[in-house]
Amino acid sequence: MRSTVHEQDAVTGWDVARPSRPGRMSGVSMAGFRDRGTGPVDLRAVPHPAVTLVVEFGEGWLVVDDATGRQQRGSVVAGLTLGELRTRGENIECVEVHLSPVVARTVLGVGPVELDRAVIALDDLWGRDASLLREQLRDAPSWESRFALTDALLARRCETGPCVAPEVARAWDRIVVSRGRVRIDDLALQVGWSRKRLWSRFRSQIGCSPKRAAKLVRFNHAAHHLATGTSAARVAAEGGYADQSHLHREVRAFTGVTPAILAGDPGLAVDGTAWAGQGPFVQDRRP
């Protein structure tokens, strides 16, 4: 990670930094965020097929609210299948990491299933590692240095963390490559397991069922195509939905809003800026 790409998102008022090169681990992407101090931030987090880790290090404040009304302040980890998640704060500076669920268990030390529909304080999972990383990020002279520090810690944690079964990793990869357009029976056949065994192992190690994962990956692609101005009818036709009504129902299920409203969502806009060209990742090598 020798150079960094900096962009500004005019709609949401963020300065965004992202590495121009991938880090040492497959299944991990990261970006840096700094709000420009134009006022309090209040953004919807659009669901995506990754476990999210946010390490804040600025002088401002950051609060994450989930659908149940629970709040976490500061550095957090958010599970794979969260829906109504909002980020609030002011003068925020943070590094956000997207972890493929295949590597999340290894990096975090707990399985994604334990994070299902939950937002957890990073300190509760990492203890001293979390506070030390915040101190290092605060003292670092550049985003380049911050990404390198974060990458080094993730890689170190991967040296001793538990790995998912190879069959589960292959199933996840197939879901991502197919953009969620894969039959679960075919998936089980490809990895050499029964449907029941795949469902059970996948759920326990990834954090959701294979069917739910496929819906989430399909939705992720649809959401970003909607944000580019593509019509809902075309997104539905090209995304594997039965019809436009099917797309409408799934967007509602994941976000609580219609496709038209989602297309203009500021959270989706900054998401597209930050993660352009990044993820969701296929596990082309083991951590």
Give which of 46, 51, 71 is closest to 61, Cα–Cα. Answer: 71
**What was the pLDDT predicted at 70?**
79
On average, the pLDDT of the chain sits at: 85
Q: How far apart are CA 83 and CA 72, in angstroms?
A: 16
What percentage of residues in the chain have a pLDDT greater than 70? 88
Give which of 200, 173, 265, 207 is closest to 81, Cα–Cα. Answer: 207
Q: How far apart are CA 129 and CA 217, in angstroms?
A: 31
**What was the pLDDT predicted at 187?**
95
14 pLDDT tier (thresholds 50, 70, 90): confident
Span 4-161: which CATH code? 2.60.120.10
11 pLDDT tier (thresholds 50, 70, 90): very low
Instruction: Output the pTM of the full model.
Output: 0.86
**What was the pLDDT predicted at 115?**
73
Contact 86, 54 (CB under 8 A): no
**Domains of the chain by residue range:** 4-161, 166-270
Q: What is the mean pLDDT of residues 194-205?
A: 94
**Does 2 score more than 50 pLDDT?**
no
Q: What is the mean pLDDT of residues 255-267?
A: 89
Q: What is the pLDDT of residues 175-187, one digit of tens each?
A: 999 999 999 999 9
225 pLDDT tier (thresholds 50, 70, 90): very high
**Does 274 score more than 80 pLDDT?**
no
Q: How far apart are CA 198 and CA 184, in angstroms?
A: 9
Whose tokens are 């029976």? That residue is: 185
Containing 251, the helix (H) or strand (E) segment is helix 244-255
Least confident of 49-58, 105-114, 187-196: 105-114
**Does 213 score more than 90 pLDDT?**
yes
Q: How far apart are CA 221 and CA 107, in angstroms?
A: 25
Q: How many CA atoms lie within 13 A of 97 on its CB side?
A: 31
**What was the pLDDT predicted at 1?**
39
Q: What is the pLDDT of residues 111-149, one digit of tens each?
A: 777 776 678 899 998 999 999 999 999 999 999 999 999
What percentage of residues in the chain have a pLDDT greater than 90? 47
**What was the pLDDT predicted at 281?**
46
**What was the pLDDT predicted at 46?**
84
Q: What tokens appear for 51 in the block?
A: 């476990």
Q: What is the mean pLDDT of residues 264-268?
A: 82
Q: What is the pLDDT of residues 41-90, one digit of tens each?
A: 888 788 889 898 999 998 888 888 877 777 888 899 888 766 667 888 88
> Where would I find the beta strands (DSSP E) of the chain?
4-9, 14-19, 28-35, 41-45, 51-56, 61-65, 71-73, 76-78, 85-90, 93-99, 119-121
**What was the pLDDT predicted at 150?**
96
Span 166-270: which CATH code? 1.10.10.60
**Does 95 score more than 70 pLDDT?**
yes
CB atoms within 10 A of CB 110: 16
**What was the pLDDT predicted at 26?**
84
Angle at 242 between CA 236 and CA 244, to 5 degrees: 45
Q: How far apart are CA 244 and CA 251, in angstroms?
A: 11
**What was the pLDDT predicted at 249?**
96
230 pLDDT tier (thresholds 50, 70, 90): very high
DSSP string, 191-248: HT--HHHHHHHHHHHHSS-HHHHHHHHHHHHHHHHHHTT--HHHHHHHHT-SSHHHHH
Give which of 33, 46, 131 is closest to 89, Cα–Cα. Answer: 33
**Does 232 score more than 70 pLDDT?**
yes
Burial 82-102 (b: 16+ CB within 10 A, else e): bebbbbbbbebbbbbbbbbbb
Pairing of strands 28-35, 41-45: unpaired
Angle between helices 210-227 and 244-255 (to 10 degrees): 100
